């Protein structure tokens, strides 16, 4: 037993050395899979499945080719996500709904992988012998998963982020990290700009009292008081400042989602309260408010709102008057 613990402790030390100072999650997961596969005895598959658009998709691994997509709740991996706990399975053939990728697998351990308290995937290890894994493996492999989470930035790609973004109006009491704020502003400043004038600027408001005062002026944005971060997108008035400000606003929302944050756009422009907010921030006369953004970690996932279908909104070559909608 002591030898086993010593080995697992050693593997975790090796992992720390491998991932230290590196935040690319694919690189870290790839090295982590190779480390486990080569260092653990009696293992025929070691790797990761990652959450993408609500299901698990095969990530970096070592071993035979494996099944690519697993629905939440299916098999050992899907169950670990649904129940948010580690599964130690002594005999995979006894596990209801077990997904057989490698017929040699007899036992399995699956550990959830977290980033900012949300599950981003699972660590999955298979063995060709029964009862290969126990509570000691569980303890050290959960630590293994934590080491990866601590060092790695789990970011969605832009398409997944924009498709999964929903307006969220309820937030956890958890500060948004400074580097994530900078990443959002970086995405905003790179947005397209009419004649490349770049008139848009950003006010970062984290102070609780200020956020509350903002909600007293901006009706319809009460949740700004609850969100740990409010970004006011403002613009120097010019020919295309509304379009520029809106493009920058959208880039912030997409960048927020890609970094595990949620948000809601609160109208800033053309509202009765717009001048009240502009006065509150003492904006110069030639600036205006474009939008107020509530940003933070979601407390509960909202019901997806109804969206028009592609067929309802697309026209080819000309406006199609005859089309049935």
Ligand X SMILES: Cc1cc2nc3c(=O)[nH]c(=O)nc-3n(C[C@H](O)[C@H](O)[C@H](O)COP(=O)(O)O)c2cc1C
Which member of 49, 265, 273, 297 binds ligand X (CB under 6 A)? 265
Structure tokens at 256: 């927020």
- Distance between CA atoms of residues 277 and 95, nearest Å: 58
Site for ligand X in 281-300 (CB under 6 A): none
Nearest to 201 by CA among 210, 209, 191: 191
Which member of 59, 75, 112, 221 binds ligand X (CB under 6 A)? 221
Q: Is 264 in the site for ligand X (CB under 6 A)?
A: yes
- Distance between CA atoms of residues 243 and 267, nearest Å: 14
What is the per-residue DSSP string for 186-219? Answer: HHHHTS--GGG---EEEEEE--HHHHHHHHHHST
Q: Is 247 in the site for ligand X (CB under 6 A)?
A: no
Q: Is 99 in the site for ligand X (CB under 6 A)?
A: no
Q: Is 305 in the site for ligand X (CB under 6 A)?
A: yes
Radius of gyration of the chain (CA): 24
Q: Is 166 in the site for ligand X (CB under 6 A)?
A: yes
**Is 296 within 8 Å of 175 (Cβ atoms)?**
no
Instruction: Please identify, among the stretches 24-32, 98-106, 263-271, 312-320, the one whose residues bind ligand X according to the rule CB under 6 A.
Output: 263-271
- Report, in Å, the least distance between residue 103 CB and ligand X: 44
Which member of 14, 62, 167, 170 binds ligand X (CB under 6 A)? 167
Q: Is 171 in the site for ligand X (CB under 6 A)?
A: no
Which member of 174, 220, 312, 323 binds ligand X (CB under 6 A)? 220
- Report, in Å, the least distance between residue 220 CB and ligand X: 4
Q: How big, in percent rounded to 5, are the helix, strand and coil portions of the chain?
A: 40, 25, 40
Edge-first strand order for the sheet with 229-236 is 200-205, 229-236, 287-296, 262-267
Site for ligand X in 6-65 (CB under 6 A): none
- Positions in the binding site for ligand X (CB under 6 A): 166-167, 169, 220-221, 264-267, 305
């Amino acid at each position: 037993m002591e030898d086993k613990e010593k080995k697992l402790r050693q593997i975790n030390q090796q992992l720390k050395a491998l991932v230290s100072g590196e935040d690319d999650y694919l690189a870290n997961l790839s090295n982590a899979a190779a480390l486990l596969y080569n260092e653990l005895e009696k293992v025929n598959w070691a790797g990761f499945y990652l959450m993408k658009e609500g299901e698990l998709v095969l990530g970096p691994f070592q071993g035979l080719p494996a099944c690519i997509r697993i629905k939440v709740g299916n098999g050992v991996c899907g169950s670990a996500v649904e129940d948010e706990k580690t599964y130690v399975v002594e005999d995979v053939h006894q596990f209801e709904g077990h997904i057989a990728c490698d017929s040699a697998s007899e036992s399995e351990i699956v550990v959830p992988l977290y980033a900012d308290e949300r599950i981003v995937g699972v660590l999955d290890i298979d063995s060709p012998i029964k009862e290969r894994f126990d509570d000691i493996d569980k303890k050290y492999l959960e630590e293994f998963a934590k080491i990866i989470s601590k060092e790695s930035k789990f970011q969605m790609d832009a398409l997944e982020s924009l498709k999964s973004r929903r307006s969220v109006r309820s937030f956890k009491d958890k500060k948004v990290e400074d580097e994530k704020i900078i990443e959002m502003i970086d995405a905003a400043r790179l947005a397209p700009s009419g004649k490349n004038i770049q008139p848009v600027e950003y006010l970062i408001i984290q102070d609780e009292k200020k956020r509350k005062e903002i909600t007293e002026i901006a009706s319809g944005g009460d949740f700004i008081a609850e969100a740990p971060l409010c970004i006011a997108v403002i613009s120097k008035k010019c020919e295309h400042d509304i379009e520029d400000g809106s493009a920058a606003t959208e880039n912030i929302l997409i960048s927020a989602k890609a970094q595990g944050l949620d948000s809601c756009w609160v109208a800033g422009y053309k509202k009765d309260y717009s001048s009240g907010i502009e006065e509150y921030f003492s904006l110069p006369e030639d600036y205006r408010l474009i939008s107020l953004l509530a940003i933070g970690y979601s407390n509960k996932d909202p019901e997806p709102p109804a969206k028009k279908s592609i067929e309802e909104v697309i026209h080819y070559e000309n406006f199609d008057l005859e089309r049935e909608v």
